[in-house]
Structure 1
Amino acid sequence: MKTWAEIMEIQPLAGKIITNSIKKGRVSHAYLISGERGTGKASIALQLAKSLFCSNKEGVEPCQTCNTCKRIESKNHPDVHWIEPEGQSIKREQIDNLQKEFKYSGLESNRKVYIIKAADTLTLNAANRILKFLEEPNKETTAIMLTENSQAIIPTIRSRCQILDLQPLDPYHFQKQLIDAGITEDNARLFSALTNNLTEATRWNEDDWFASARKLVVQLIEKFVESTDDVYLLIHNKWLPHFKERNQQEHGLDLLLLAFKDMMMAHIGYEDAIVFFYKSKEKLEDFMMAFSQAKILMILNAILAAKQKLKQNVHPTLVMEQLTLQIQR
């Protein structure tokens, strides 16, 4: 999404609120933009920054071609500061460095913008330091905080921001985009359940790693069905070596979650919602016979808890061993 017109097509309410503010010269000193991955949070932040700095814009639309727009797009503008998590969180030191930057006037104007990605990962100390900015707003400063979970933001920050909740993307529309991009219907259904980002989905489609990840999930469920101790060998010899990085570990649990959700959908006769086993109905029937609805519900809750533990930086080996034990009970 490169223009406000494109943003308005995907996020009409958020787009209208911000463009009206720009037209009236009443841009908020702080925005909290909340939405799932791929719903346009970063695109809106970039577009807002360009609209504030671009001197060649037509109405609210920045020109996209001037040096200012290009530097904001590449995150190289000296008065637009991006803050992203270092490791699992945004730390106090990062906010301290931002505060030092803001003691000086802008290099090219008096305006400054700072964009905080994954704002829900702010440590408590970092959040309290950000709060000072919000309590003493400068009319030439705009804060834009992006999050997938606005409820994880401390109330004192939320109360000082204009909150924009982005609507989820239409999965069927996104599936059509994926199919038009050359992705099979089977993969399009699966990818649309995991991401709203076309670039990310295209990369997965071309990556042997993702195909292997899908096979590993099936193998793991087969071991659970067989009720053997071989499941621990698979976890240590195949699962953990394959899902090395934190985002890969989360993808593995997401795939496992979708597989068990399919079993629940099959139990209740909602076959249109089947995603993971869309082209493997016979395999799905075999698996659902091994798990009752009550058992599947327990497993789904256990997987969600495991995802939360990963976010809390619990060691992935411990997370998977505990999850395996819960599923085998």
Structure 2
Amino acid sequence: MSFEDVPGQPRAKRFLRRLFQSGRIPHAMLFSGMAGVGKAAMALELVKLLNCHAPRDMNACDACGSCLKLRKGIHPDLLVVKAERAFIKLDQIREMRARLRFQPFEGKWRGIVIENAQALNEEAANALLKLLEEPPQRNIFLLTTLEPQMLLPTILSRCCHVRFQPLDLETLAKVLEEEHRMPESKARQVARLSEGSLERARCFGDEERMGQCKETLKKIEGLGRLTILELFPLVANWVQGNEALEQDLEWIKLWMRDLILYRLLKDHQSFSVPDERTLRAAGCVSVDTLFVLYDNIEKALQQLRRNANKNLVLEGVCIAIKDDLYGKNCRNSIPQRRKSLSF
């Protein structure tokens, strides 16, 4: 795999190649963008290129010992830091710092990839900042994030920021056709619904995940039949042991998008999840209210990424949907616009 094998992102690739060609490699870089656009893959490819024994045309050769070890994830000069139970913690940064006391073992550069850096807790972020202020030589920090605004401004100021764009329809469709053996017509349909994310496109192409999506929407549809007291145990059971709660909210957000499309355009060909419940719900409320609900779900996702209380976040979403989408008088009056939900 080389830069060319990472789908899309031509601007990011040109920038990284210019850096490599110039030899002026920054000690820290931040790759930001939505999920599923290749940030982590590009970070690994940059580490591979920096350590490649025989790079060709600004790409790693994929054949030398260094490239093969990095591809298998066994290179001693690659450190990958990920969240453990929602946070990247101080102990993880301390363990990383201990490794950095030594020069790279085999390669020219040691690559430290910190995935979803917005998950750094306060202590870990401050410890990382100290490393970035006095970076050890021949080490490059590569941070990826969905939300750069959640990082300390002092960390942002010490990183070379590379913004990743949503993938275009043609790129997504090509990947789905070639890697997932998806027929061209279905690949284009799935690509159109994925809003630029390969991760989301793969979800749409996965029958098991689509089944999970439909189960999530069944729960949402059932909110209209519950009293407020019955809603709380539903939410508690939903949250308990659910490692995919963020994905569930993504499904609900996409469904809300479908409602908006139908109300505005009467377009049911572009539904993310073809389902008659979308048509039933869309006729119940104003477009204005649907936009507010959509915004509230997006805020709920941001709250989850900031490790807010899952029960409170989901309760807020479910109460808003119950009141505004399935309220008793929703067919006879337009619900009042909510400014925001408090999670």
TM-score band by shorter chain is 0.7 to 0.9
> Does residue 228 in structure 1 map to residue 230 in structure 2?
no
> Does residue 250 in structure 1 map to residue 246 in structure 2?
yes
CA contact (8 A) 1:131 1:157 kept: yes
> Does residue 95 in structure 1 map to residue 97 in structure 2?
no
Instruction: Give the structure 2 partner of residue 56 of structure 1.
Output: 54
> Does residue 289 in structure 1 map to residue 290 in structure 2?
no
Could you tell me how far apart the structure 2 residues matched to 1:67 and 1:42 are? 21
Could you tell me how far apart the structure 1 residues matched to 2:87 and 2:119 are? 5
**Residues 1:243 and 1:64: Cα distance change in structure 2 (over 3 Å):** farther
Alignment of 1:153-168 (within 5 A): 153-168=151-166
Q: 1:91: how far off?
A: 0.8
**Residues 1:29 and 1:55: Cα distance change in structure 2 (over 3 Å):** same
Instruction: Give the structure 2 partner of residue 29 of structure 1.
Output: 27
Q: 1:114: how far off?
A: 1.0
Alignment of 1:175-190 (within 5 A): 175=173, 177-178=175-176, 181-182=181-182, 184=186, 188=190
The amino acid that maps onto 1:4 is F
Could you tell me how far apart the structure 2 residues matched to 1:158 and 1:206 are? 39
Could you tell me how far apart the structure 2 residues matched to 1:138 and 1:196 are? 35
Alignment of 1:8-157 (within 5 A): 10-109=8-107, 111-157=109-155
The amino acid that maps onto 2:305 is K
CA contact (8 A) 1:266 1:274 kept: no
CA contact (8 A) 1:117 1:146 kept: yes
CA contact (8 A) 1:310 1:319 kept: yes
**Residues 1:166 and 1:270: Cα distance change in structure 2 (over 3 Å):** farther
Q: 1:221: how far off?
A: 4.3
Number of residues of Structure 1 aligned to a counterpart in Structure 2 = 319
**Residues 1:301 and 1:243: Cα distance change in structure 2 (over 3 Å):** farther
CA contact (8 A) 2:77 2:106 kept: yes
Query: Of residues 299, 302, 309 in structure 1, which corresponds to 2:303?
Result: 309
**Residues 1:230 and 1:215: Cα distance change in structure 2 (over 3 Å):** farther
Instruction: Give the structure 2 partner of residue 3 of structure 1.
Output: 2
Q: 1:151: how far off?
A: 1.8
Could you tell me how far apart the structure 1 residues matched to 2:256 and 2:207 are? 25
Query: Of residues 320, 324, 328 in structure 1, which corresponds to 2:322?
Result: 328
Could you tell me how far apart the structure 2 residues matched to 1:66 and 1:176 are? 29
- Percent identity reads 25
**Residues 1:175 and 1:106: Cα distance change in structure 2 (over 3 Å):** closer
Secondary structure of 2:141's counterpart equals strand
| Residues 216-268 of structure 1: per-residue CA shift (max 9 Å, x gap) | 344334334xx32279768856994598433x211211111111221112222
Q: 1:144: how far off?
A: 0.9
CA contact (8 A) 1:175 1:192 kept: no
Secondary structure of 2:194's counterpart equals helix
TM-score between the two structures when normalised by the length of structure 2: 0.80
The amino acid that maps onto 1:133 is L
| Residues 286-328 of structure 1: per-residue CA shift (max 9 Å, x gap) | 2211222233233223322332333343454443333222222
| Residues 167-210 of structure 1: per-residue CA shift (max 9 Å, x gap) | 110145424643663264697258624841389437x6142xx2
| Residues 267-291 of structure 1: per-residue CA shift (max 9 Å, x gap) | 22262883325x44x5433221122
Question: Unpaired runs of 5+ in structure 1?
Answer: none
Could you tell me how far apart the structure 2 residues matched to 1:30 and 1:313 are? 25
Relative to its length, the structure with more helix (as a share) is 1
> Does residue 201 in structure 1 map to residue 203 in structure 2?
yes
CA contact (8 A) 2:236 2:311 kept: no
TM-score between the two structures when normalised by the length of structure 1: 0.83
Q: 1:64: how far off?
A: 0.8
Query: Of residues 258, 264, 267 in structure 2, which corresponds to 1:268?
Result: 264
Question: Unpaired runs of 5+ in structure 2?
Answer: 324-343
